[in-house]
Amino acid sequence: MLDIGFYTTEGKPIHHVEAAENFLEGLARSEFAKIGKEQMITVLIDDEKIDLPLVKLGNVNRHKFIAFFTSAIVDETKILLNQIRDYLAKPERVYRLRKLIEILAQGVTSRPKA
């Protein structure tokens, strides 16, 4: 399992979403990977400062990520509903939908205060 981490502007972890490697590889090959510009940012992981290439979640990037995950959830839901209709709900489809919703929910609820 790997994870997507969310950090404060001070580099402190506030949330992470664990996901299977193939799920994250799919994100890396999608439009998700084209959102925002990576910057080297120092974060705190296990009480150790580490420089990582990260994308800041300013309003523009946040809205792009929300749009991406909303679209992905709609696409996965269509597939899942077709499978349910045929009595073939596959666990990997349910997993993808659950993880997309979890990531989207975190992006919506962890907005910086104005």
Confidence at 87, pLDDT banded by 50, 70, 90 = low
Q: What is the mean pLDDT of residues 48-65?
A: 91
Write the DSSP assignment of 5-53 as a string of letters.
EEE-TTS-EEEEEEE-HHHHHHHHTSGGGGSS--EEEEEEETTEEEEEE
pLDDT higher than 90, residue 94:
no
Say if strands 48-54 and 13-19 run parallel, antiparallel, or are unpaired: unpaired
Report the pLDDT value the prediction gives residue 1, as an integer from 0 to 100: 78
| CB of 39 closer than 8 Å to CB of 53 | yes
Question: Residue 15 to residues 4, 64, 92, 110: CA-CA distances in angstroms?
Answer: 8, 19, 23, 9
Q: What is the mean pLDDT of residues 6-20?
A: 88
| CB of 103 closer than 8 Å to CB of 4 | yes
Of residues 52 and 113, which shows the higher confidence score? 52
Report the pLDDT value the prediction gives residue 22, as an integer from 0 to 100: 94
Report the pLDDT value the prediction gives residue 90, as an integer from 0 to 100: 66
